[in-house]
């Protein structure tokens, strides 16, 4: 793998996480349980898709095949996407979507902080812009986890059930492969061990205040980074890519 191709592969991972979660969260527009949360989730989706656009634009500039950002978003197949499994998990109820968002935010924020010091100027620039948005995402999702976890019996049970279901996908982002280790050695990517330490400290603080208990099972799912996805990914892409696949080259 050439240095340029390796860098593009890494940037695509960043893009895919933001793009797929943005697609998922956007489905709540008009369906959230309260107007304030409807607007907040819609804004979160817009932020994530905006970040994905920045990453995809950079990836397209590195692309040996000359593919555009839109091509990379809408014309890649499932096995060519490298997002973590967490972000492709179905929305479920509001509690599950919120828990998915919180777990991602708790990792995404320190990760972008690390990327803002990247030796790659373009990555540093995108991360520095994005981390300001994600700081709000983390503040909001943390607050809601605490409020709902410590709220009524029903809201607590919804949040605990969501945590029990999603925790098995929480550690994939911290499982480095050869590509990430190479990026870290070059000073392009942050050290995942440091990110995990910050993540763990924050989620333990939030879950303690929310009265939520981490599941006892320590088995963690992975594979998304290398294109091995769950059964949720195919239908998700079919919906997201439908227009471009049905009318190739269509423009607004």
> How many helices and strands, by DSSP H and E, does the chain display?
9, 0
| Neighbouring C-beta atoms of residue 142, cutoff 10 Å | 20
- Average pLDDT, stretch 152-177? 96
Higher pLDDT, 33 or 79: 79
* The residue count for the chain: 252
Is residue 29 situated within a structural domain?
Answer: yes
Q: How far apart are CA 33 and CA 249, in angstroms?
A: 37
Q: Quick check: is 252 in a domain?
A: no
What are 123-154's pLDDT values in tens digits?
A: 999 999 999 999 999 999 999 999 999 999 99
Contacts of 223 by beta carbon, 8 Å cutoff, 6+ apart: 85, 172, 229
For residues 157-178, give the mean pLDDT: 96
Confirm whether 47 is domain-assigned: yes
Number of domains in the chain: 1
pLDDT of residue 40: 86
Q: Is residue 251 part of a domain?
A: no
Instruction: Report the distance separating Cα 22 and Cα 82, nearest Å.
Output: 15
Q: What is the CATH number of the domain that holds 203?
A: 1.20.1260.10
Q: What pLDDT was estimated at residue 1?
A: 59
Which residues does 60 contact at the CB level (< 8 Å), separation at least 6?
Answer: 67, 68, 69, 71, 72
Residues 178-193 have pLDDT tens digits of 999 999 999 999 999 9
Lowest mean pLDDT among 21-35, 39-53, 78-92, 228-242: 21-35
207 closest CA partner among 170, 248, 242, 246: 170
The residue segments making up the domain with residue 22 are 3-246
CB neighbours (10 Å) of residue 143? 13
CA dist., res. 101 & res. 203, Å (int): 12
CA dist., res. 121 & res. 240, Å (int):
31
- pLDDT, averaged across the chain: 95
Q: Which two tokens stand for residue 129?
A: 């812009």
Q: What is the mean pLDDT of residues 8-36?
A: 92
**Residue 213 contacts by C-beta under 8 Å, 6 or more apart in sequence?**
160, 163, 207
Of 120, 88, 93, 116, residue with least CA distance to 104: 88
| Residue tagged 């919804």 (tokens) | 158
pLDDT at 33: 79
Residue 101: pLDDT over 70: yes
pLDDT > 90? residue 216: no
Question: Rounded CA gap, 44 and 51, in Å?
Answer: 11
């Amino acid at each position: 793998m050439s240095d340029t191709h390796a860098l593009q592969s890494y940037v695509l991972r960043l893009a895919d996480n933001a793009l797929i979660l943005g697609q998922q969260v956007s489905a709540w527009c008009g369906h959230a349980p309260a107007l304030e949360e409807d607007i907040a989730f819609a804004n979160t989706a817009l932020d994530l898709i905006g970040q994905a656009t920045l990453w995809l634009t950079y990836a397209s500039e590195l692309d040996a095949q000359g593919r555009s950002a839109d091509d990379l978003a809408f014309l890649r197949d499932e096995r060519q996407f490298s997002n973590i499994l967490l972000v492709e998990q179905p929305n479920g109820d509001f509690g599950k979507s919120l828990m998915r968002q919180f777990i991602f935010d708790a990792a995404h924020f320190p990760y972008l902080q690390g990327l803002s010091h990247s030796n790659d100027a373009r990555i540093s620039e995108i991360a520095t812009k994005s981390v300001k948005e994600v700081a709000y995402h983390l503040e909001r999702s943390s607050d809601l986890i605490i409020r709902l976890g410590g709220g009524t019996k029903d809201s607590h049970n919804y949040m605990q059930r969501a945590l029990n279901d999603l925790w098995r996908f929480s550690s994939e982002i911290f499982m480095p492969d050869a590509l990430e280790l190479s990026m870290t050695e070059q000073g392009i990517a942050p050290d995942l061990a440091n990110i995990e330490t910050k993540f763990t400290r924050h989620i333990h603080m939030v879950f303690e205040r929310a009265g939520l208990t981490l599941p006892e099972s320590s088995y963690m799912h992975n594979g998304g980074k290398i294109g091995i996805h769950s059964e949720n990914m195919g239908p998700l892409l079919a919906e997201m890519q439908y227009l471009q696949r049905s009318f190739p080259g269509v423009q607004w």
